[in-house]
Structure 1
Amino acid sequence: MKKRATRRNNVAFFPASEQAAGSSRLLLRESDGATVRRTVLPNGLRVISEEIPGSRSVSLGVWAGVGSRDETDQSRGAAHFLEHLLFKGTHRRSALAIASEIDAVGGIANAFTSKEYTCFYAKVLGRDLPVAVDVMLDMTTQPLLAESDIDAERTVVVEEIGMHEDDPGDRAGEALDQAVLVDSPLARPILGTRESIASMNPATIRSFYRRHYRPERLALTAAGAVDHRKLVTMVRRATRDLDWAEATPRKLHRRISRRYRNPATGGIGWQEWSGGQCTVALAMPGLPRAHPERPALEVLNEIIGGGMSSRLFQNIRETHGLAYSVHSGHSAYSDAGVWSAGAGCQQERAGEVLELMLAELDAIVANGPYVEEVGRAKGHLSGNLVLGSEETSARMAALGRAEVATGELLSVDQALGRIAAVSVDDVSAVARKVLSAPPNVSIVGGPGRVRERKKIAALIQGGSSE
């Protein structure tokens, strides 16, 4: 028998597949009086709201459990392409009408695509929530996907790819994803490629939409000045004319077809870049979203490159003055993760920057973190968490990710508790686990001197200067 939540306060989150279609349930009660409720409509569409006392605005998101990892070789870039196309018009609204209705109430609307989900969002005053619900659901459930719009937007997406190619940091990050994730669908670029977008025909895009924008793959989340019952009524009204059959429970949640294990091979990749700076970046396998050591890894990341007091920032920028931008981060997915660090520097300093990066990683693996570093990192994460919780957009996004990606929803107090529970030993252990792997290095810069290439290659065991 599946384990269910047993308390109403700080109730454990559970998948919508365990909730009967047509029912509503209280999921969470925050210490500030906010309440999170979910209704699963008979067709499988999930409606989740967080009513926040005193809020005058509301953030709304329509989430689809589809991203670049769900594409085939023939549909690479389709998830992001659709993100653009759904703003081009519906059977009831033109692209101008979509923009005009949101502008007329002083709202904002946009969208983003990730490797595992897509979100269309808006922020309006609480009184204008009916407008936002109707517009956003109309966009995502009744798009025209006209051939003329597809051809016109194709050029826009190719321009976006070109902009991405002109950013050395983006190029380095994409190369590292491919190096670490190798044959996983997660390694695919979210935007697709110039070739895949140019060759994608309308039939492929429409088929991708019909397959993935089904009600059981969609969730609507709202946070702020929202009444749950009224929101559900708005959603029912906006979708009443759609030909949606009732969903079976087994279809309510996205399934990962197989568990992907990151290889740890290491190596160096070089990319030519005509700009004045050089990007030096490295990455290694991280941890999946639900991994029990992920909170410790987030603390470790803060220590290494998460802020101005981090080791990489202090050493590379403040002490040696080698770079302006220095950072690290961790991307967690359903069944994999990528930890990375990077800096922008002059080409002739690339070897020095990489050497300092590797030295800091070796040091924390060998000696662990200082007690004060762990305390400072936990304080930074906790402060950011609380500050973010004051934004309705952040709370709406947390609800959406819980529904279509993580399968876990924590109260602010619970999330703070997880951070507080991380010990120095926990950080030391996860440093040995993650940072001991051979790093994959990406250098995006000019042709460079042979001396620099040889120096960089010598820093990586088994590296090649070719």
Structure 2
Amino acid sequence: MTVQTHTLSNGLRIVTENMPGLKSASVGIWIMAGGRHERVEQNGIAHFLEHMAFKGTTRRTALRIAEEIEDVGGYINAYTSREMTAYYARVLEDDVPLAIDVIADILLDPLFEQAEIDVERGVILQEIGQALDTPDDIVFDWLQEVAYPDQPLGRTILGPTERVRGFGRDDLAGFVGEHYGPDRMILSAAGAVDHDAICALVERLFGHLPPARAAEAPVPARFVGGERRELKQLEQVHFALALEGPDYRDPAIYTAQVFANALGGGMSSRLFQEIRENRGLCYTIFAQAGAYADSGMMTIYAGTSAEQIDELANLTIDEMRRSAEDMSEAEVARARTQMKAGMLMGLESPSNRAERLARMLSIWGYVPSVEDTVERIDAVGLEDVRRFGAATATGAGAALALYGPAERAPTLSRLRDRLAA
């Protein structure tokens, strides 16, 4: 498999990877505009815009957009994250030109009709309501808010209800004008794809676009930390703890991921074995390391009863502290293997591979080989993991979010004292 890249004169980047033996392909546009690129009065507009892209163009109705892709057995979708928005489709080999044409159409020629805006506003308000009714979902939004208070990176992607109720056509068009320039777009395709044919088509569809006016740089992230405790009579207390970690350009990100995986990444991990298997305190518990362009955090989540939250929280801290002291070579080796296997298995999917191409190109300006990533994971040793664990325990910023009958849950201050003891 060969990765090929090309940049149009207006700055739009194209990256493709042919995967021999496949009869299908995944293709999409990744735009470097997400939640953290919004001003406070725009909070939620990137996600609203993603919804509106499918509501019709001058050439296609909303129904026709869906029908043209589904008539050929494909699917089309989109998502908004804190750092980018993606519009993508999965189709058979012969239908790649159709998928690119549809994606170009919804990005370059959306109608933004007021009636459709009002309909989609209702959909998004229902989505917000669903998130608020899903404790193990909303608790992560609250965790993000207390980790990065009063910053774009800490705001919810969906936006607050009062903002969403007020968005209109000018707000949507304004965000497009600020952030949807070709120099902020990456077209990525993987599977049964022809690089030269895709480049020619993208040149025809996007080559006329002028670079967007310079947008304000996103506000630099600053992990502050803090605690949010929302008391409600639920069946469980939802516990989410975050500790400041490296950004995704920091070589230490691989160490952070290995440490998080060994701590709570699978059924053999320390948190799962001690807190679920040995103590029976929860059904779900996990740890993961996430990262942004200029910040990152390791997150631990669990759900348990009001009577057991104190024990669960304290045991979680004890396992973190102990991991920094006596993590074994076998645990580190297992965590590395799980990471590599998960990555390699995932990259058998053209959708996952197309997303990786876009993300790597946006981060590094080139696409590191899979072999290079494997080598970086393999380079993480036992002492690296222990040092990272110790530094995280004693010096990292921390944030805590609790939702449910959390009256008996320990405070963040108490947990930090226990972690550093």
Q: TM-score range by the shorter chain?
A: over 0.9
1:216 aligns with 2:175: no
Which ranges of 4 or more aligned residues in structure 1 deviate by more than 4 Å?
254-259, 455-458
Contact 2:321/2:389 (8 A) holds in 1:
no
In structure 2, the partner of 1:444 is 403
Q: Distance in 1 between matches of 2:285 and 2:379?
A: 28
Of the three residues 396, 421, 427, the one matched with 2:354 is: 396
Partner residue of 2:24?
57
Cα 1:408/1:167, change in 2 over 3 Å: farther
Question: What CA distance in whole angstroms lies between the structure 1 residues aligned with 2:113 and 2:301?
Answer: 42
CA distance in 1, matches of 2:342, 2:138: 28
Partner amino acid, structure 1, of 2:179: H
The amino acid across from 1:271 in the alignment is: E
Q: Say if 2:139 and 2:240, in contact at 8 Å, map to a contact too.
A: yes
> Structure 1 pair 282/408, CA: closer, same or farther in 2 (3 Å)?
farther
Residues of 1 paired with 2:58 and 2:181: CA distance? Answer: 18
The alignment status of 1:416 with 2:374, answered yes or no, reads: yes
Give the Cα–Cα distance (whole angstroms) in 2 for the partners of residues 462 and 421 of structure 1.
32
- TM-superposed CA distance for 1:258, in Å, is 5.7
Deviation at 1:159, TM superposition (A): 0.7
- Corresponding residue for residue 8 of structure 1: none
Q: Deviation of residue 201 (structure 1)?
A: 2.6
1:328 aligns with 2:287: yes
2:6–2:199: 8 Å Cα contact kept in structure 1?
yes
Whichever residue aligns with residue 459 of structure 1, its letter is R
Counterpart for residue 194 of structure 2: 227
SS at match of 2:193: coil
Q: Cα distance, 1:212 vs. partner?
A: 1.1
Unaligned runs of 5+ in 2: none
Query: Offset at 1:177?
Result: 1.1
Which of 150, 162, 165 is the equivalent residue of 2:129? 162
Kindly tell me: are residues 95 and 337 of structure 1, through their superposed partners in 2, closer, same or farther at Cα, counting changes over 3 Å?
A: same
Q: Distance in 2 between matches of 1:220 and 1:327?
A: 34
The residue number in structure 1 matching 2:310 is 351
**How far 1:410 moved relative to its partner?**
1.7
- Distance verdict in 2 for CA 1:138–1:348, change over 3 Å: same
Question: 1:90 is matched with which residue?
Answer: 57
Matched with 2:260 is 301
| Mapped contact 1:354–1:456 kept (Cα < 8 A) | no
Distance 1:78 1:321, change over 3 A: same
Q: Deviations along 1:87-145, whole A, 9 cap, x unmatched?
A: 10111111001000010110011111000000011111111111111111111111111
Alpha-carbon deviation of 1:456?
5.0
Residue 347 of structure 1 aligns to a residue whose secondary structure is coil
Q: Tell me the secondary structure at the aligned position of residue 37 of structure 1.
A: strand
- 2:71 — aligned with what? 104
Match in the other structure for 1:311: 270
Number of the residue aligned with 1:262:
223
Contact 1:117 1:404 in 2 (8 A): no
Distance 1:332 1:351 in 2: 29
Given the alignment of the two structures, is residue 121 of structure 1 paired with residue 88 of structure 2, yes or no? yes
Rate the CA distance shift 1:280–1:159 in 2: closer, same or farther, 3 A.
Answer: same
Q: How big is the shift at 1:220?
A: 0.8
1:183 shift after superposition? 3.4
Q: Which amino acid aligns with 1:359?
A: D
Equivalents in 1 of 2:114, 2:182: separation in Å? 24
Question: Per-residue displacement from partner, 1:58-80 (whole Å, max 9, x unpaired)?
Answer: 00011111000010121110000
Structure-to-structure mapping, 1:280-299, within 5 angstroms? 280-299=239-258
1:299 Cα deviation from its structure 2 partner: 0.4
1:205 is the counterpart of 2:172: yes
Pairing partner for 1:77 from 44, 57, 61: 44
Residue number in structure 2 paired with 1:381: 339
Amino acid at match of 1:96: L
**Contiguous gaps of at least 5 residues in structure 1:** 1-33
Contact 2:151–2:219, Cα closer than 8 Å, also in 1: no
Identity in percent: 36
Aligned residue identity for 2:223: N
